[in-house]
Structure 1
Amino acid sequence: MAKDYQIDYKSIFAFILASVILVLVWRTYYGYYILYPFTILGTWFHEMGHGIMSMVVGGSFNKLEIFSNGSGLAHSSYFDSDFYFNKNIALGLVSASGLFGPPIIGSILIIMSKTEKRSKIMLYLLSIVMLISVIIWVRTTVGIVVIISLGSILLYVAIKGNETLQQLVVQFLGVIAIIDTYKQIDYLYTKSFISNGVEKLSDTGAMAERIGLTYNFWATVILILSFTLLLYSLYIRSKKRPAH
């Protein structure tokens, strides 16, 4: 019995190669500045992951700060009575969502970029969420300026862009979201860091403290799951019915 679809392996390889190159360029001096707006976008994906999950587990997402150096902070508040389930697991999920949220969104974007109609829908949806987030949560100048600018550009592409451009933009955004975890790999394998003279747990450090095991274990799990999501999304996107 003949297969009812084919896999475009060249497309998968090209996506992975482009992702690796993008990560390497991002980590160079000039690449960082060339891709600076997308550094801020990556931070937005990351911090929105924290913030949205804080609401999912029963807390409040108060504000989002994105700083000029590309770092960010999602401010959430909780009362013990707010949590829908075990407090430590809930807070562990909040920490994990900043790292794993972007790859999930990225994989959805890549899968949806398979068709022109879905690409347009994703551009409308993402641009509107970005602009609404500025009204509700984003509270720093660099965050407001960059997220409004990128959100407006995406909305313009959704309205005026041709179908090919829309698909390419959605694919690019998907890659940007997924590799956000990889371009901060040093942070992944860090237990704590100093911020304004105060030692704070990293996301993986917080996961280890709340859920158990080690921060290195959780960092590796996040990397493996993120890469698995990338491969899965590329596989789904590259499935094609054979020509008859």
Structure 2
Amino acid sequence: MQEIRVAVRSGAGACAIADCRCWSDACADSLFCRDRTETRGRMLNTDPRTHAASLPKSAVLVPHSAAPWIGFAALLSLALFAIDTWWPQFGWIARPLVWLGTLFHELGHGIAAIVLGGELVQLAVYPDGSGVAMHRGAYSQFERALIAAAGPLGAPLAGLAFFLALGHRYAARLLLAALAAFLVLALLLWVRNLFALGFVLALVLGLVLVAWRGNDRVVLALTAFVAVEMSLSAFTRVDYLFSSGALTGAGSLPSDTQQIADTLGLPYWFWGGLLALLSVVTVAVGLWISGRKSSSG
């Protein structure tokens, strides 16, 4: 027997120039170090790579720490949050970040439904920051609860993936390109409302531009910013976790936590607290791993 369910969300290793302490093959493809190695090679009248080969292993470049990029992203995110909170007339500046969080939220519902044997019918994101993911399938009570929980956890899990990518030479660029490819698939298969089509298309173009043409600093800065923003997404809209209903562009619908309560029992605010705790743990793991990579680099 088939049933249709609706999941909703309510609206509301680059090298810095100063850090280039050697000219090794490991860093030769970095945009900044490539320029510096060529300059140094001309000054020494030697080929930069030949010069690098003559250096002792102890002189191999230490990858640039991700910590400054995370710190910068955190400050920028807090500034945008303050603008949206205290100067709502300028809230449009931060609005695209709300849409991005909603997109990952709804994709979380959809991916969970597909993994559990269902079908994602369509996905919508609305200008007010709300969204809807419609899916269908024959689910058990527990599976319905998992699909509902996957929405609030979608953005923090995406943030975790971006944190993991910060510590690797190529991973950040590859992740941006992979995300662009996945969003193209979403455009073709699931995104149906006009606003979401325009937003996701613009997002794809921006990701492709940065992944293909952006220098290392731009790639790391964007990766860190998305990691921080997605990690904070669950907390900037924490009121949604502790509400029984949501007013969306598709009408008034039960919240994700209320859907979990309807299937597993216990009040919706219990499940909201549990999802908030899981989001905190996810963010902490991402910060811990990126910090270890920075210190071990």
| TM-score, normalised relative to structure 2 | 0.70
Q: Out of 19, 22, 27, which is 2:85 matched to? A: 27
Task: Work out which of the two has the higher radius of gyration on C-alpha atoms and give 1 or 2.
Answer: 2
Q: Which residue of 1 aligns with 2:275?
A: 222
CA contact under 8 A between 1:27 and 1:183: conserved in structure 2? Answer: no
How far 1:196 sits from its partner (Å)? Answer: 7.9
CA distance in 2, matches of 1:34, 1:237: 28
Is 1:180 the counterpart of 2:233? The answer is: yes
- Equivalent AA in structure 2 for residue 200 of structure 1: L
CA contact under 8 A between 1:192 and 1:205: conserved in structure 2? Answer: yes
CA contact under 8 A between 1:92 and 1:210: conserved in structure 2? Answer: yes
Unaligned runs of 5+ in 1: 1-6
CA contact under 8 A between 2:102 and 2:129: conserved in structure 1? Answer: yes
- Equivalent AA in structure 2 for residue 166 of structure 1: V
Distance 1:120 1:199, change over 3 A: closer
Aligned pairs for 1:86-165 within 5 A: 87-165=140-218
How far 1:32 sits from its partner (Å)? Answer: 2.7
Q: Out of 53, 63, 71, which is 2:112 matched to? A: 53
Distance 1:196 1:234, change over 3 A: closer
How far 1:30 sits from its partner (Å)? Answer: 3.8
Q: Which residue of 2 aligns with 1:200?
A: 253
CA distance in 1, matches of 2:89, 2:163: 27
Identity %: 26
- Equivalent AA in structure 2 for residue 68 of structure 1: P
Is 1:77 the counterpart of 2:136? The answer is: yes
- Equivalent AA in structure 2 for residue 101 of structure 1: G
CA distance in 1, matches of 2:277, 2:71: 18
Distance 1:21 1:89, change over 3 A: farther
Q: Which residue of 1 aligns with 2:15?
A: none
Residue by residue over 1:143-192, the C-alpha shift from the partner in whole angstroms, topping out at 9 and shown as x without a partner, is: 11111101111111000001111011111111222222112112111012
Find the residue that maps to 1:164 and give its secondary structure: helix
How far 1:14 sits from its partner (Å)? Answer: 6.6
- Equivalent AA in structure 1 for residue 222 of structure 2: V
CA contact under 8 A between 1:113 and 1:167: conserved in structure 2? Answer: yes
CA contact under 8 A between 1:114 and 1:167: conserved in structure 2? Answer: no
CA contact under 8 A between 2:132 and 2:250: conserved in structure 1? Answer: no
CA distance in 2, matches of 1:98, 1:21: 26
- Equivalent AA in structure 2 for residue 183 of structure 1: T
- Equivalent AA in structure 2 for residue 146 of structure 1: F
CA distance in 2, matches of 1:111, 1:144: 29
Residue by residue over 1:182-231, the C-alpha shift from the partner in whole angstroms, topping out at 9 and shown as x without a partner, is: 12112111012455896531101111111222211111111122122112
Find the residue that maps to 1:153 and give its secondary structure: helix
- Equivalent AA in structure 2 for residue 94 of structure 1: I
CA distance in 1, matches of 2:99, 2:250: 23
Q: Which residue of 2 aligns with 1:210?
A: 263
CA distance in 2, matches of 1:135, 1:166: 26
